[in-house]
Amino acid sequence: MVIERIQRRLMAAAPGGREAIVSQIIIRALLIVFLMAALVAVFVWVAARKSDDLSIDRQQHVIATVLEQSFRTIAHDQEAATVWDDSVVALRTKPRDLKWLDDNLGIWFHTYYGHDEIFIVDQDDRPVYAMREGRRRDADEYGRSAGTVAAPLIAELRAKMRGGVKTARASSVLTPGAIDLGTVHGHPAIISVKPVVTDTGEIPQTPGTEYFHISIRYLDGSFIADLARRYQLEGGHFAPAPPDDEDISRVPLRTRAGNVIGYFVWIPFRPGTAMLGQVTPALVISLLLVFGTIGWLLYRISRSTLQLSAARSQAQHLADHDPLTGLANRALFDRRLNQELSRLGGGRSLALLYVDLDHFKNVNDHLGHPTGDLLICALARVLNSVAPGDLVARLGGDEFAIVHVGDNAARSGERLARKIHKALARPVDLGHGEVLIGASIGLSVAPADGTDPVELVRRADIALYDAKHGGRRRHSFFTEAMGDRIRERNEIERELREAMRTGDGLSVVYQPFFAAQGGAALGAEALIRWNHETRGPIPPDTFVPIAEECGLIETLNEWVLEQACFAAARWPAGSVAVNLSAVQLRNVTLAERVYAILKRTRLSPGRLELEITESSFLESSEKCRSNLGWLRDIGIRIALDDFGTGYSSFKHLGGLDIDRIKIDRSFVATIQPGVGGSPVVQAIVDLARISGLTTTAEGIETEQQRLYLTSIGCDVLQGFLLAAPMSASDVEARFSGRQGADPA
């Protein structure tokens, strides 16, 4: 608002008036800056001094408190050995065990607590033990060392003790004592006197006849050094006289009589001064920044129109581009496509390329969405590099589009598609690792495929669908036949939904499987069939993939499972095998749903075998592993279907809770007369046996195949040679009438 007002005034004023207005602005701004700077400087200086004073007062209070606490600590240290029956006995026993006194009442106090001197006097105040600086000394040193200083304290404590003393375990102070400051051997020291008394009360002691333990701790030695280090007091030391330097803080060491025996001095920490030293450069810099801001403000006034224009351009850019990749978004794509289509003519054509990453969902699921975003950005860079002169747009998710214009856009567009495939044939570097991923591309060409942008986009999308279903990592041009297939697919989807709603045309047939040795019927595999009222029988290979794409597969497979369980419950023997889809395996409620169906149909879990494919398990292995574990826990058997067509690796079996592997029919078909069998099938059977798994071979159509599979140890056989798919009642009849008969 201020800038706008200044701008209006400048625009309304004459050139000379504009200069006057600018001069007034500068003068007023400078006055405000100097006034603010002065106020800030005064405030900071006063705050710094106040902070210093408070800090010094606090440090002095801390030192005084620590000294007072140290007095109590020394007396408390003494009670560790003076309130003890053993100490009373040791001092009364003649001759005294000096080694024991060293270890418990003398040298030990120096090594453990850091006390500098220890003396012990008897009931007549005569010294009986002396220790100084960790070495036992002659007891007579007491008189030469601390006798004069300690005498008043001993007399004071004798007076206290004549009234008798009781140890109080519930209190932090167990016995009375006397403590004061004094000078010992020229050292300022803490002198503490404590009585040696019984801790149990079982040793009789006449009040006033106790031995006294005298402990001395120098203040100018390790005590001061530890204090300075613990509380980070710079230059902390003892001084016999107060320092002349006003910048040095001091705490007087006074006796109880008020006599000063010295000073604890240190260089105080002044946070205000330290802060001022740090803030002053910042204040100077801030002042310079303010002047710079004034200059920038004046510059902005003159350049405001340009900035507004730039802001408008930036806003337009953000409205037209994808924030993640910086590519054109759908809005810009639609406008540019319309523009380019309106300019076609003179032999020029336009190719629209729809690009979609293959298996991008797996990247997000397994590596996380941040990695998916990195991959999206990497693909954007690839597309920009191979199509520098074209419009590259991100339409959403992992879907991209390229608008390519040329004299022969169909040919050059195909070359562009091949460049994309070639670029994605190399691993994409994501910074913290590489990912190998491909893309499917659909192309439509204008004017050959029309010039309506909506129709052109629809046809490119149809071509993309064809590329994906043709094997991925490929590209397809739109053809009318593709449109017919899409319409046919959509019609089948609609009719499948209706059939599932009404149940008309859908049925389940059962193909038995037999023991390789003996040929006994062991059970049957449930297979869905759809007999359309007008189209006739529709193969499962046609409508099952459509059910997977449109989200119907879970409902469809559960219906098959329930029908199969109802049928098997009526059979006198044998098991039923039912296929599970990848969608069902990822559903956390799978085990609950299967258990509910078994309970509703009254089929024993041991008679149900669920078949999964290796690829469906690997799509979401953690969820699948949990579901398979629950299913096996309730007694259901798990079979790995189509083994040999996916990853075909026994290393994946280690993480799978399965009971059986089914050898795919494509391997069984290689067993031909005169060929001598199949080494691959032989290897699968041998490895399965070593892994503790049974094997089923499906798709057996010749006697040669049956005999070979039986000879190499395959456990179960299934195929048209043995039995074609049949109704549930036929399976029931087979179990009832011809169970165990050789189907061959």
pLDDT at 623 over 80: no
Q: Given this model, what pLDDT does residue 737 score?
A: 67
Over its C-alpha atoms, the chain yields an Rg (Å, rounded) of: 48
Helix (H) or strand (E) holding 238: strand 234-239
Q: Given this model, what pLDDT does residue 308 score?
A: 57
Q: What mean pLDDT comes out for the span 600-609?
A: 94
Each residue's pLDDT tens digit, 541-553: 888 888 887 888 8
Q: Shortest CA distance to 270 belongs to which of 510, 590, 54? A: 54
Confidence at 249, pLDDT banded by 50, 70, 90: confident
DSSP reduced 3-state for 695: strand
Q: Given this model, what pLDDT does residue 742 score?
A: 41
Confidence at 501, pLDDT banded by 50, 70, 90: confident
Q: Given this model, what pLDDT does residue 397 score?
A: 84
pLDDT at 740 over 50: no
Amino acid letter at 126?
A: R
Please provide residue 524's backbone torsions phi and psi, each rounded to the nearest 5 degrees.
-150, 150
pLDDT at 641 over 60: yes
Q: Which residue has the higher pLDDT, 349 or 359?
A: 349
Q: Given this model, what pLDDT does residue 648 score?
A: 47
CA dihedral 294, 295, 301, 302 (to 10 degrees): 170
pLDDT at 371 over 60: yes
Domains delineated in the chain: 1-72+270-317 (no CATH), 73-163+172-267 (3.30.450), 330-478 (3.30.70.270), 505-736 (3.20.20.450)
Can you say how many angstroms the Cα of residue 189 is from the centroid of all Cα atoms in its chain? Answer: 58
Q: Given this model, what pLDDT does residue 647 score?
A: 47
Cα separation values, 334 from 36, 329, 441, 461, 551, Å: 55, 9, 19, 15, 30
pLDDT at 565 over 90: yes
pLDDT at 476 over 80: yes
Confidence at 575, pLDDT banded by 50, 70, 90: very high
Q: Shortest CA distance to 688 belongs to which of 729, 646, 716, 721? A: 716
pLDDT at 621 over 70: no
Q: Provide the angle, in degrees to the nearest 10, between the axes of the packed helices 480-502 and 540-549.
A: 80
Alpha helices in 393-533 (DSSP H): 409-424, 453-469, 480-502
Q: What is the mean pLDDT of the chain?
A: 82
Confidence at 164, pLDDT banded by 50, 70, 90: low
pLDDT at 170 over 70: no
Q: Given this model, what pLDDT does residue 350 score?
A: 93
Q: What percent of the chain has pLDDT over 70?
A: 85
Q: Given this model, what pLDDT does residue 514 score?
A: 94
Confidence at 165, pLDDT banded by 50, 70, 90: low
Q: Shortest CA distance to 211 belongs to which of 275, 273, 125? A: 125
Q: What mean pLDDT comes out for the span 1-10?
A: 54
From 36-40, 362-366, 703-707, the region with the lowest mean pLDDT: 362-366
Q: Shortest CA distance to 409 belongs to which of 466, 453, 352, 449? A: 352
Confidence at 263, pLDDT banded by 50, 70, 90: confident
Across the strands, what pairs with 194? Answer: 213
424 vs 446: CA distance, rounded Å:
27
Q: Shortest CA distance to 241 belongs to which of 228, 250, 231? A: 250
Q: Given this model, what pLDDT does residue 513 score?
A: 94
Confidence at 416, pLDDT banded by 50, 70, 90: very high
DSSP reduced 3-state for 433: coil
Q: Given this model, what pLDDT does residue 739 score?
A: 45
Each residue's pLDDT tens digit, 644-695: 665 445 555 555 678 899 988 888 988 887 676 788 889 889 988 988 899 9
DSSP reduced 3-state for 147: helix
Q: Given this model, what pLDDT does residue 570 score?
A: 93
Give Cβ neighbours of residue 681 (< 8 Å, ≥ 6 apart). Answer: 663, 667, 668, 670, 671, 697, 709, 712, 714
Q: What mean pLDDT comes out for the span 152-162?
A: 88
DSSP reduced 3-state for 115: coil
Q: What mean pLDDT comes out for the span 359-380?
A: 78
Each residue's pLDDT tens digit, 422-431: 888 888 777 6
pLDDT at 25 over 70: no
Q: Shortest CA distance to 644 belongs to which of 608, 694, 690, 698? A: 698
Q: Given this model, what pLDDT does residue 354 score?
A: 92
Q: Given this model, what pLDDT does residue 517 score?
A: 92
Each residue's pLDDT tens digit, 704-739: 999 999 999 999 999 999 999 999 999 988 887 654
Q: What mean pLDDT comes out for the span 436-464?
A: 89
Confidence at 366, pLDDT banded by 50, 70, 90: low
pLDDT at 529 over 90: yes
| Residue 21 CB neighbours (<10 A) | 15
393 vs 254: CA distance, rounded Å:
85
Please provide residue 106's backbone torsions phi and psi, each rounded to the nearest 5 degrees.
-125, -95
> The tokens of 463 are what?
């071509």
Each residue's pLDDT tens digit, 87-129: 999 898 889 898 999 999 899 999 998 898 999 998 888 899 9
| Residue 12 CB neighbours (<10 A) | 10
Q: What percent of the chain has pLDDT over 90?
A: 26
DSSP reduced 3-state for 75: helix
Confidence at 578, pLDDT banded by 50, 70, 90: very high
